[in-house]
Structure 1
Amino acid sequence: MESFFDEPTYNSLRDRLQQIDSNKTPEWGKMDAAQMFKHCQYPIQIALEKEKVVVKSNWFAKVFFKKSLYSDKPFRKNLPTAPSLKVADSKDFESEKEKLDQWMQELWYDRENNNRRSHPMFGNFTKDQWGKVQYKHLDHHFRQFGV
């Protein structure tokens, strides 16, 4: 399983981000690209302890979904999104794309952090698991837009 914290993977994710343009339509889901960029910022902000959304702990998610977050199997299409992480309002494409890139860079520079607090919904992750979760989420949404 690839990890956000591996340099070739990180560089590939940033390259893929730049390939998404405002005319791309999603292969699944309801979000447009600008909304997806905003949505993808939330998990990175959570890892950096800078989230601006409230994500509640969920025992069902911890027990039945947590291991799938860092398994080798890609996320399936149209998975439900936690209500607080949904983005339904209009967003500016270029602004949100740039913000996502900046958050990705900040997480990259913080990659050696071994003392992250618990995820508010899923509990504790190791550094390795954090890297896999971040990769898997971004990969899922970049594939959603064909890159």
Structure 2
Amino acid sequence: MTAYPDLFDAAGVAAVSQRIAALTPESRPLWGKMSVSEMLAHVNVAYEMVYTTKHPRPNPIMRWVLKRIVKQKVVGPAPYPHNTPTAPAFRISDARDFAVERDRLLGYLQQVMNEGRSTFEGHPSLSFGPLTAAEWNVLFAKHLDHHLQQFGV
């Protein structure tokens, strides 16, 4: 089991931000096919689902499947295996700007921390329904950790 940084806490955000700062436009993945810019855009999708209306809510049947089968893999403590299939909403198919995506991610991390644990307690996910703040933290931190490891930071 892996302990993930607390993204509602300044120390946790600082630790993750330091890892993000170690990325460069030339960073190459240790596995997978995404460029570093695509990876940052991919990670930003989780925050877009909270803070924008860009991504539609899955239909009721898909939500049932996601909640019953996928949720525990996403909010549970076990790390993601390498080359885990990506949900369609998280696939990045266009070119992205490294600095723009990095700065968006850092901004989202700051926003989550500033809003705090109480804002996320019981806040509904588009895919999984209401989550606890601890589940939100794992959702964000585990995904980010997986991809930062992918790029060796």
TM-score, normalization: structure 1? 0.88
Match of 1:146, as an amino acid? G
- Residue 63 of structure 1 aligns with which residue? 68
Tell me, yes or no, if the aligned pair for 2:123 and 2:132 is still in contact at 8 Å: no
Quick one: distance in 1 between partners of 2:109 and 2:79? Answer: 20
Q: How does 1:90-101 map to 2 (within 5 A)?
A: 90-101=95-106
How has the CA–CA distance of structure 1 residues 114 and 106 changed in structure 2, closer, same or farther, with 3 Å as cutoff? closer
In the alignment, does 2:27 pair up with 1:21?
no
Tell me, yes or no, if the aligned pair for 2:45 and 2:89 is still in contact at 8 Å: no
**Number of aligned pairs?**
146
**Which of the pair is proportionally richer in helix?**
2
Q: How does 1:58-137 map to 2 (within 5 A)?
A: 58=62, 59-112=64-117, 113-114=119-120, 117-137=123-143
1:21 CA drift (Å)? 0.9
* CA offsets 1:62-118 (integer angstroms, 9 cap, x no match): 112211222221111111111122101111111111111111111111123145542
- Residue 52 of structure 1 aligns with which residue? 54
Quick one: distance in 1 between partners of 2:97 and 2:35? Answer: 11
Tell me the secondary structure at the aligned position of residue 135 of structure 1.
helix
Tell me the secondary structure at the aligned position of residue 65 of structure 1.
helix
Quick one: distance in 2 between partners of 1:139 and 1:41? Answer: 13
1:46 CA drift (Å)? 2.3
Match of 1:66, as an amino acid? K
How has the CA–CA distance of structure 1 residues 116 and 35 changed in structure 2, closer, same or farther, with 3 Å as cutoff? farther
- In structure 1, list runs of 5 or more residues that go unmatched: none
How has the CA–CA distance of structure 1 residues 128 and 115 changed in structure 2, closer, same or farther, with 3 Å as cutoff? closer
Quick one: distance in 2 between partners of 1:51 and 1:143? Answer: 29
Runs of 4+ deviating beyond 6 Å: none
- In structure 2, list runs of 5 or more residues that go unmatched: none
